[in-house]
Structure 1
Amino acid sequence: MSEEHLRQQLREAADAHRPDRARMLARVERGMHEQSATDEPERRPAVGWVRVAGITAGVVGALAVGGFAVGSALRPDPAPRQQQVAVSPTQTPRGGNPLWADGSVDPGSNAYWAQSNVTFKTKSQLAGLTVELRVAQTGKVNSTGHWSSLPAGDFTESVTERDGFLVYRWVLRPGRSVPVGEHVFAGQYNHAEGGRDAGDDDYVVTGRTGGGQRVSVDGDFAPVSGRRG
Structure 2
Amino acid sequence: MNDEIGRRLREAAEAHQPDRDRMLARVHRGMAGTAVPRRSSGIARSWPKVVLAGSAAAGILAVAGLAVAGSVQTTPAHPDSETTLTVPSPSETPATHSPGTTGGTPPPAPGHPNRTTTARPPAGTPTPAAPAGRRVSEGPLSAQGAIDPHSTVYWAQATLTLDVAEPLTAFTVEVRVTQNGGVQSTGQWQTGPAGDFTVTAQESDGAVVYRWELKPGRTVPAARHTFAVQYNHTAGARNADADGYRVQATASDGIHTVQGGFTPAG
- How far off is 1:212 after superposition? 5.7
Instruction: Structure 2: state its 5+ residue gaps.
Output: 1-137
- Cα distance in 2 between the residues matched to 1:173 and 1:221: 26
Partner of 1:216: 257
TM-score, length basis structure 2: 0.47
- Cα distance in 2 between the residues matched to 1:206 and 1:119: 14
Partner of 2:117: none
Runs of 4+ more than 2 Å apart: none
Q: What aligned pairs does 1:185-196 form with structure 2 within 5 A after superposition?
A: 185-196=227-238
Instruction: Say whether residues 1:104 and 2:146 are aligned partners.
Output: yes
**C-alpha deviations, 1:116-143, integer Å up to 9, x for none?**
0111111110011000000011100000
- Cα distance in 2 between the residues matched to 1:202 and 1:108: 19
The residue identity in structure 1 corresponding to 2:259 is D
- Cα distance in 2 between the residues matched to 1:150 and 1:123: 15
**In structure 2, the residue corresponding to 1:171 is in which secondary structure?**
strand
Q: What aligned pairs does 1:30-179 form with structure 2 within 5 A after superposition?
A: 97-179=139-221
Partner of 2:241: 199
TM-score, length basis structure 1: 0.54
- Cα distance in 1 between the residues matched to 2:143 and 2:222: 14
Instruction: Structure 1: state its 5+ residue gaps.
Output: 1-95
- Aligned-pair RMSD on alpha carbons? 1.5
**C-alpha deviations, 1:83-135, integer Å up to 9, x for none?**
xxxxxxxxxxxxx6110001110111101000001111111100110000000
Aligned residues: 129
The structure carrying a bigger helix percent of its residues is 1
- Cα distance in 1 between the residues matched to 2:229 and 2:262: 13
Partner of 2:59: none
Q: Which structure's CA Rg is the greater one?
A: 2
**In structure 1, the residue corresponding to 2:195 is in which secondary structure?**
helix
